[in-house]
């Protein structure tokens, strides 16, 4: 990301977003999204140039440099348009609607998103990146803008008609009205079949290039593999996780996953690292280790935690940062992360065996992977470690020691390079995802420090992100510079749903009723603000929250995972989890109505409806709660046995004996556990509860596993 330079500034100088502030010195007279900008467009009778991007977006910065930092082009913009710049991470509600509009008009979206609007915010032209001058027959950005300014002056009626048609198409496509259908196991099977139909049997993952991670799909496959014993489902999940971890999309030195792979083999990534991707994948690897007890999945989980702990988190106050950029400047392409063979050999020259092994293991060649610098290689692992060690004539232990030493030296050498920018903004929903993932990893690998940091983060989210007086969430907990201004971007449905899950996960990890109470309060606020009581489902933005500018007037009900879990299935799953603890039939009915609202159309989304499949599993399967009571080694063994095999409808709770009291438990457990007084005299034990019924206690792991059969 380019840093703001001294000199004249535009209105973005007062913005909180790091992305917006990076454009404050551009000659374009940018404004933030808001009523003042729209009022100015109406007063001047000009169209609006809307630019939507993100701090981590390489091509956004390319377009900034080529076009928006060009004084002549800026003069064209300032003379003919009111220019508004939006950070898509800060305003996902704005981005989602204009992405849909551009997809309707141009057939595809992405970032940077460039949209021309009427003065009241209705889109009539759009695209993504535009080059400054003509390229291979494509018109240059200046000619596009001058043409559209002329059309605005001369063909206004036609533009308004086009804009109205586009917004009508967006609302129709995003509301899913009239698509209700029946719910049943067949719908889960259909979604799983669609996912498996997209499975790349040669390289892992789903679809072809570019290849993205799909954490919700992987969790759905992991759940089904454990429940049904399907070897096909198990293979698709495990092989994909193994392939991603060996590929260049995984940072083999630093840990953590890049955004996606430009090729189907997972070799060359887009190098930005996003919190939401790493949170979703961290949970996947933890769940896979629970299910398969494969050491490689534990290794990747620990390695991801190392990177997130060291690079993407506020260790002092709690909280997870939003992203790390791909590049240092616009002239490189992942140079921080990639290596020439000469660079590797120079770092490891003192120990030739380390150099030789690292070059082979990480597939560092003289002819590399990067177009901008063919000598640069993306470190990846195409051959198994045992094969590499054998070829080198080394015993596995000796090879492992050499590789560890080489890895440490390469990582230390990389740390001397200028590091890509880290956006230290704390977004509520993404942080909630990370809290849940950390708690899953802590449970799977028995890591108390990981659990403690997750709880510290959640405490900060509840303290700074929840407005107790207004009973509403904020979308941003803190901006990149740490300050928390009075004006916050509004929370969206995803923020609420993911926070509810994080609170319930924290209750499960601690048995502290304050997290359960927070989940109840968040559910009440979510239902009040977002539920469509007339037609079912949830809107993505709160109802009745003041003036709705531009496309925000259109209503949408998010169903697709893109790429974070979609708001409606996440909300339904949260309602079902809470209903399983407080026996509130109204919540269960609302969840069922929400899922039913989309049942007639959801199969069309296949891979991108995986969160829906997980939520439907929660509806169709009885909730299973394993309560482990005791604090000794036997209790730890029982808890580990209870956690074995990931299942979406299963949760594990550890209690001290003094916590087995009605006033310290949610209603469902309060009606069962305290009424078994003989339990309190026993050694450490576990109780398996399905719905409102608890089985007799068991005191050894084998008996517990028998009791859990069929879960």
CA distance 580 to 696: 20
Give pTM, 2 decimals: 0.96
pLDDT digits (tens, 9 = 90+) for 529-555: 999 988 899 999 998 766 789 999 999
Q: Tell me, what's the pLDDT at 173?
A: 76
pLDDT digits (tens, 9 = 90+) for 49-86: 999 999 999 999 999 999 999 999 999 999 999 999 99
Q: Which two tokens stand for residue 114?
A: 């460039």
Q: Which of 96-105, 143-152, 158-167, 502-511 has the lowest mean pLDDT?
A: 158-167
DSSP states of 306-338: HHHHHHSB-TTT--B--EE-S-SSTT-SSTTT-
Q: Is residue 6 predicted with pLDDT exceeding 70?
A: no
- Which residues have CB under 8 Å from 408's CB, separation 6+? none
Q: Is residue 710 predicted with pLDDT exceeding 80?
A: no
Are 201 and 240 contacting, i.e. CB atoms less than 8 angstroms apart?
no
Q: Cis (ω within 30 of 0) for the bond into 292? A: no
Quickly state the pLDDT bin for 138 (edges 50, 70, 90). confident
Mean pLDDT to the nearest integer, 182-199: 95
Mean pLDDT to the nearest integer, 105-127: 93
The domain spans of the chain are 11-175, 337-417, 624-707
Q: Helices marked H in 383-534 — which ranges?
A: 385-391, 396-415, 428-445, 448-464, 493-510, 513-530
Quickly state the pLDDT bin for 137 (edges 50, 70, 90). confident
- Which residues have CB under 8 Å from 620's CB, separation 6+? 183, 184, 185, 188
Element (H, E) at 704: helix 701-707
Rg of the Cα trace of the chain? 26
Architecture of domain 11-175: 3-Layer(aba) Sandwich (3.40)
Residue bearing the bigger pLDDT, 169 or 23: 23
Report strand pairing: 82-87 vs 48-53: parallel
Mean pLDDT to the nearest integer, 490-519: 97
Q: Which two tokens stand for residue 303?
A: 């390695």
CA distance 625 to 466: 29
Quickly state the pLDDT bin for 671 (edges 50, 70, 90). confident
pLDDT digits (tens, 9 = 90+) for 280-307: 999 999 999 999 999 999 999 999 999 9
Q: Tell me, what's the pLDDT at 484?
A: 61
pLDDT digits (tens, 9 = 90+) for 259-285: 999 999 999 999 999 999 999 999 999
Mean pLDDT to the nearest integer, 242-253: 98
Residue bearing the bigger pLDDT, 315 or 133: 315
Residue bearing the bigger pLDDT, 575 or 133: 575
Quickly state the pLDDT bin for 594 (edges 50, 70, 90). very high
For the chain, the maximum distance between any two Cα atoms, rounded to a whole number of angstroms, is 87
Mean pLDDT to the nearest integer, 130-147: 87
pLDDT digits (tens, 9 = 90+) for 597-607: 999 999 999 99
Q: Which two tokens stand for residue 656?
A: 């001290």
User: Over the range 5-38, which residues count as b (16 or more CB within 10 Å of their CB) and which as e?
Assistant: eeeebbbbeebbbbbbbbbbbbbbebbbbeeebb
pLDDT digits (tens, 9 = 90+) for 432-482: 999 999 999 999 999 999 999 999 999 999 999 999 888 899 999 999 876
Phi, psi values for residue 81, rounded to 5°: -135, 160
């Amino acid at each position: 990301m380019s840093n703001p330079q001294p000199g004249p500034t535009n209105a973005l100088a007062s913005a909180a977003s790091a992305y917006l502030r990076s454009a404050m010195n551009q000659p374009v007279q940018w404004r933030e999204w808001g009523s003042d900008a729209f009022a100015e467009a109406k007063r001047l009778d000009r169209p609006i140039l809307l630019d939507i991007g993100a701090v981590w977006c390489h091509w956004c910065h390319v377009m900034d440099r080529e076009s928006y930092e060009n004084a002549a082009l800026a003069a064209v913009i300032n003379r003919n348009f009111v220019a508004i710049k939006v950070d898509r991470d800060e305003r996902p509600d704005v981005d989602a609607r204009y992405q849909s509009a551009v997809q309707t008009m141009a057939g595809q979206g992405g970032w940077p998103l460039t949209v021309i609007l009427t003065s009241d915010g209705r889109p009539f032209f759009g695209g993504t990146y535009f080059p400054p001058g003509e390229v291979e027959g494509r018109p240059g950005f200046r000619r596009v803008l001058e043409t559209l300014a002329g059309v605005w002056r001369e063909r206004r009626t036609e533009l308004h008609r086009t804009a109205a048609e586009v917004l009508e198409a967006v609302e129709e496509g995003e509301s899913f009205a009239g698509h209700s259908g029946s719910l049943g196991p067949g719908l889960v099977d259909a979604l799983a079949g669609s996912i498996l139909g997209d499975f790349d049997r040669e390289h892992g993952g789903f679809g072809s290039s570019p290849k993205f991670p799909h954490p919700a799909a992987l969790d759905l496959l992991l759940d089904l593999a454990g429940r049904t014993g399907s070897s096909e489902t198990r293979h698709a999940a495990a092989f994909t996780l193994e392939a991603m971890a060996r590929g260049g999309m995984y940072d083999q030195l630093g840990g953590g996953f890049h955004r996606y792979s430009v090729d189907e083999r997972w070799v060359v990534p887009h190098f930005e690292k996003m919190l939401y991707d790493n949170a979703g994948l961290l949970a996947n690897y933890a769940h896979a280790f629970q299910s398969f007890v494969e050491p490689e999945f534990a290794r990747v989980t620990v390695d991801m935690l190392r990177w997130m702990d060291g690079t993407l988190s506020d260790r002092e106050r709690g909280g997870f940062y939003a992203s790390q950029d791909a590049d240092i400047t616009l002239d490189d392409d992942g140079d921080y992360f990639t290596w020439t063979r000469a660079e590797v050999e120079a770092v490891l020259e003192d120990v030739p065996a380390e150099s030789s092994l690292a070059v082979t293991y990480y597939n560092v060649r003289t002819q590399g992977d990067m177009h901008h610098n063919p000598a640069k290689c993306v470190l990846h692992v195409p051959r198994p470690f045992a094969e590499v060690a054998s070829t080198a004539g080394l015993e596995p232990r000796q090879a492992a020691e050499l590789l560890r030493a080489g890895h440490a030296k390469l990582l230390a050498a990389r740390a001397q390079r200028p590091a890509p920018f880290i956006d230290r903004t704390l977004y509520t929903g993404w942080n909630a995802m990370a809290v849940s993932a950390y708690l899953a990893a802590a449970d799977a690998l028995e890591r108390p420090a990981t659990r403690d940091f997750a709880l510290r983060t959640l405490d900060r989210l509840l303290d700074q992100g929840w407005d107790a007086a207004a009973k509403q969430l904020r979308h941003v907990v803190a901006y990149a510079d740490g300050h928390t201004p009075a004006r916050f971007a509004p929370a969206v449905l995803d923020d609420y749903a993911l926070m509810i899950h994080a609170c319930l996960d924290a209750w499960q990890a601690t048995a502290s009723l304050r997290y359960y109470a927070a989940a109840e309060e968040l559910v009440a606020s979510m239902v009040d603000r977002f539920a469509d009581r007339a037609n079912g489902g949830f809107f993505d933005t709160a109802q009745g929250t003041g003036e709705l500018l531009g496309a925000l007037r259109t209503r949408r009900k998010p169903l697709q995972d893109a790429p974070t879990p979609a708001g409606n299935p996440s909300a339904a799953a949260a309602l079902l989890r809470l209903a399983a603890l407080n026996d509130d039939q109204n919540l269960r009915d609302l969840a069922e109505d929400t899922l039913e609202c989309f049942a007639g159309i959801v199969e069309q989304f296949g891979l991108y409806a995986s969160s829906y499949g997980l939520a439907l599993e929660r509806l169709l399967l009885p909730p299973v709660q394993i309560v482990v009571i005791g604090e000794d080694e036997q209790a730890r063994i029982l808890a580990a046995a209870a956690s074995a095999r990931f299942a979406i409808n299963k949760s594990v709770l550890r209690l001290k004996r003094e916590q087995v009291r009605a006033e310290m438990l949610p209603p469902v457990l309060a009606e069962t556990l305290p009424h078994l007084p003989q339990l309190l005299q026993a050694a450490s034990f576990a109780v398996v509860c399905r719905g409102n019924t608890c089985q007799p206690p068991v005191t050894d792991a084998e008996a517990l596993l028998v009791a859990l059969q069929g879960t």
